[in-house]
Chains A and B, each alone.
Chain A
Amino acid sequence: MANTAGAGNQPKPSSSVKLVLLGEAAVGKSSLVLRFVNNDFQENKEPTIGAAFLTQKCNLPNRTIKFEIWDTAGQERFASLAPMYYRNAQSALVVYDLTKPSSLTKAKHWVAELQRQASPGIVIALVGNKLDLTNPSSSTGDATSAISGEEDGAEGTGNVEEGDEADARKISTAEAKAYAEEESLLFFETSAKTGANVSEVFTAIANAIPETSLRGARGAASDAATQAALGGRRGDDSRVNLTGPRAEVGAKEGCAC
């Protein structure tokens, strides 16, 4: 099974990281996962039903991270189920659609809920998706240079240019970024459609997870079950400084998945 292969073949230490995606319906959560896991995109993706569980490996220079991803549906009626998915998560991707103001409001609610209810050490990334819908002139700055731009030490938060608001963009980079900094969140603007910045998000998260909260990936599914049963709060040390250098290093690596 795919699970066990990683640990066996890799000389590098391997650990698994639980990640949950939250955000309003149709902001592109499933599309981000599809891009990350299969490097694919579908126009007019149908809404997720319930929640989907996926795994994907991410190679860092000194270790391998296996993401165990919960992609939730984001519809209101599933809100009461959300705690089940984020309860033991070490990381969360809170996604909004940067062409839809209400989705940022929703994202802020999720951030607040995570800060209240999730593991204290949880690494949260705020992600503004659908960057490709912004004005080409501004998204050149965003998408294209953001990929290579990580090299320039853009704090692993994407280096989206500000100003020059594009047609479809409704939420300025400055506004979202300011909020992310205030709440100590990782921040990216992405396009699941073009792939811009997508693997960077996951790599940055992998790097931001404190060593202490990592556990060996023994690969068995029961492992996860056990952890769920035990409450699995490994990340109890204080919240990481997400804008710290670690995220920056990670952003360079990219996931060799």
Chain B
Amino acid sequence: MADTANIDTAETAEGISTKDFDKRAGSEHSESGTREVPIASLQSRESSPPPLPARPRQLSRPDRSPFGSYSRPSSAGGPRLASRATTAVSRADIQTKSYGDERPGGHLLPGSRGVSRQQSFSNLGRFVSNSKSDGGDSASIRSYIPTLEASGDVESLLGEVLSDYASPAWKKLDACALEQAGYFHDVTYEVDVLNDIFEREFDELEPSRPDGSNEEALMAQFRSKLKHFLILSSAGKPIYSRHGDDQLVTNYIGVVQTIISFYQGAKDGLKGFTAGDVRFVIMSKGPLNLVAISQLGESDAQLRAQLEALYMQILSTLTLPNMERMFSNRPSIDLRRPLQGTETLLSALADGFTRGSPSSLLSALECLRLRKTHRQVINNSMLKVRSQNLLYGLIVAGGKLVSVIRPKKHSLHPGDLELIFNMLFEAEGIKAGGGENWIPICLPGFNNTGFLYMYVSFLSATQPNHEVVERPSSRDEREEEIAILFISPNKEGFFELRQMKDDLVEQLQENGGMQSIRSAVVKGRPSCVDIAPGTVARHFLYKSKGNVQFAMPSYEPNFNTTLSRRRLLSLYHILHASVHVKNAHLKVQHCISRDSISLAWITPMFELFCVADPSASRNALAQAANKIIQWIRREEERVFIIGGAVF
């Protein structure tokens, strides 16, 4: 690719998304029906201190939409948006995408992207000047000569956006809801139906009957799932499937295995293909092949990141050398035995992805919002009681990091924390009646060759008596749990760390640390309106790249159901994909749909994704974005853990 010095490189430390595009380019084997459509105008804007030089760009087609090569009927019945003006400005450029139009073959009609530079200029102008008043990195938005001539992939840059609610699954849902709504003239009913469909996604299939009498019904259920994950060995042995038992998935595994091995000789193995409405993404990792099958419209890079996380979970159970040894001893080994008990962790991860998780989308952590001084008290308490063999000490409340202590030379890898948080807050394995747990765990980001040992104890945030008798079973209640995690290389360290926990709890109770954690937990996330009164923003994700952490407001009051959250997350996935395409130069992107107007804003310091009502003007959205940035700046030391406590 022409511009390897792309801004994207700033993120390679966090890992996942960027490199995949490179590898993938040119390795698509299922090309039938794909056409390259020169991008009408790909504009970009750099906003960075220090500014990167403008460079001539030649976009090769890095990707194409999962659904790009198939024709899609327009979204059932939704009001069609006339395409809005895009923003291309002479000195700065913003790319705006509109969707909701009729798109034969998934391609954009040439006329569907009107360009009105003047209009956007005024918006942008305000945007820029507003941010200037904040000081800091957003103040130095600089613009460069646009690279108008660059040709690129409409499908990858736009297809992602187009695939939003128009992705086949969502359309199915929409169509269904509208039909129903037609009968009942009841809007809330519509929501219920959609919720039902989405909730059924997580229902377990009943086991196959030995006589095969329920096979047909099971097949239908199996196929109705919007998302599948399969893991098989390169010898074709099934290792994991999110849905369906062996009997059911055997055929699928066989087909997938055949397709994969068909391309094994090729220089690049098969990375992905599309069949009907469904996108298949395949990732080979040594002796394993991992497959994501999705109708939810994620980008290949995002699906790949999800597969990567599943792979990390397998390493976390086995360690890399152990797994490799098993396969070299016996290539046909059934890995399910050594992995026994890991299925639930894999499924918890998988369902998190299907539900939509800001943390895994952004590869970043969320912190509990605390006053800086309060956090210091907690950090210091933990440092004070630190025991000899401690590697990492963490306090986590409802999946949000409260405090970390670590050795100076070791930082924590977000992927590792994702595995730990998944284990603690999503899977149910650690729920024995109020016990403490001692868990051998390989943290592949830290070291994929060996085990560490993790002490886990749960405290209740709401109960004054800090001993948790029984962990709550609902996801929401678990928001109110405080977990104390101590990680040590010493396999016999349980009682040492248990003592440390007792000491820590005593400290925190004396110095008020526990109280500040409890009240922060009970308070929850602020709503958009708390953050910026009168804002049009309904939700946002802000990622601080330097801290590898993100902040967001409460889902309430605008996104109360699983489905509405999934839709929101889908929108974030689309925005995220479009600004993370390897060659995407654009740093601000608007996205307009039937349901929302949204914005992605990328700088070297942060990523902001912000969603507002469709009635909001772009101007108002830009102002809302600025307000959010201002809030973050004010609250930086509360919403993020900066540096953490080291020893």
Contacts and interface: CB of A to CB of B under 8 A. Distances in A.
Contacts of A30: 432
A81 B492 contact: no
A225 B502 CA distance: 13
A221 B505 CA distance: 14
Interface stretch (A51-59, A110-118, A150-158): A51-59
A71 B432 contact: yes
A54 B434 contact: yes
Interface stretch (A34-42, A96-104, A168-176): A34-42
Interface stretch (A72-80, A126-134, A193-201): A72-80
B433 A53 contact: no
B318 A46 contact: no
A228 interface: yes
B28 interface: no
Contact of A46 (B428, B434, B440, B454): B428
A47 interface: yes
Contacts of B434: 37-38, 54
A25 B502 contact: no
B432 A2 contact: no
A152 to B, nearest CB: 31
A178 interface: no
Contacts of B344: 46-47
A224 interface: yes
B437 interface: yes
A1 interface: yes
B427 A49 contact: yes
Given A51-B437, A76-B338, A46 B431 contact: yes
A213 interface: no
Contact of A228 (B429, B433, B439, B495): B495
B635 interface: no
A50 interface: yes
A54 B431 CA distance: 11
A95 interface: no
A184 B556 CA distance: 61
A33 interface: yes
A50 B437 contact: yes
A145 interface: no
A238 interface: no
Contacts of B338: 76-77
Contacts of B427: 46, 49
A25 B343 CA distance: 13
Interface in A212-240: 221-222, 224-225, 228
B430 interface: yes
A77 B423 CA distance: 18
A1 B467 CA distance: 9
Q: Which of A50, A75, A76 has the most CB of B within 10 A?
A: A50
Nearest to B467: A2
Contacts of A38: 433-434, 469-470
A256 interface: no
B98 interface: no
B317 interface: yes
A53 B438 contact: yes
Interface in B404-456: 423, 427-441, 454
Interface residues of B, number: 36
B494 interface: yes
Contacts of B431: 45-46
A53 B437 CA distance: 6
Given A49-B439, A53-B494, A37 B340 contact: no
A25 B341 contact: yes
A129 B454 CA distance: 30
B437 A221 contact: no
Contacts of B492: 84, 228
B318 A51 contact: no
Contacts of B438: 50-53
A36 to B, nearest CB: 9
A48 interface: yes
Contact of A40 (B429, B433, B439): B433
B337 interface: yes
Contacts of B341: 25, 47-49, 73, 75
A53 B435 contact: yes
Contacts of B498: 53, 221, 225
Interface in A169-190: none
B340 A81 contact: no
A50 B345 CA distance: 13
Interface string B452-463: 001000000000
Interface string A1-40: 1100000000000000000000001000010011001101
Interface string B132-173: 000000000000000000000000000000000000000000
B334 to A, nearest CB: 12
Contacts of A37: 433-434
A49 B430 contact: yes
Contacts of A225: 495-496, 498-499
A149 B179 CA distance: 63
B491 interface: yes
Contacts of B494: 53
Given A2-B467, A37-B433, A47-B344, A81 B491 contact: yes
Nearest to A55: B435
Contacts of B337: 76
A53 B438 CA distance: 8
Contacts of A78: 440
Contacts of A34: 432-433
18 contacts: A33-B433, A33-B435, A38-B469, A47-B340, A49-B437, A50-B437, A50-B439, A53-B436, A54-B434, A54-B436, A71-B432, A77-B317, A77-B318, A77-B338, A77-B340, A81-B491, A84-B491, A222-B495
Given A52-B432, A52-B437, A222-B495, 5 more contacts: A47-B429, A49-B437, A50-B437, A81-B440, A225-B495
Interface of B: 317-318, 337-338, 340-341, 344-345, 423, 427-441, 454, 467, 469-470, 491-492, 494-496, 498-499, 502
- The 6 A-B residue pairs whose C-beta atoms are closest, nearest first, are A50-B439, A225-B495, A52-B435, A49-B429, A46-B428, A54-B435
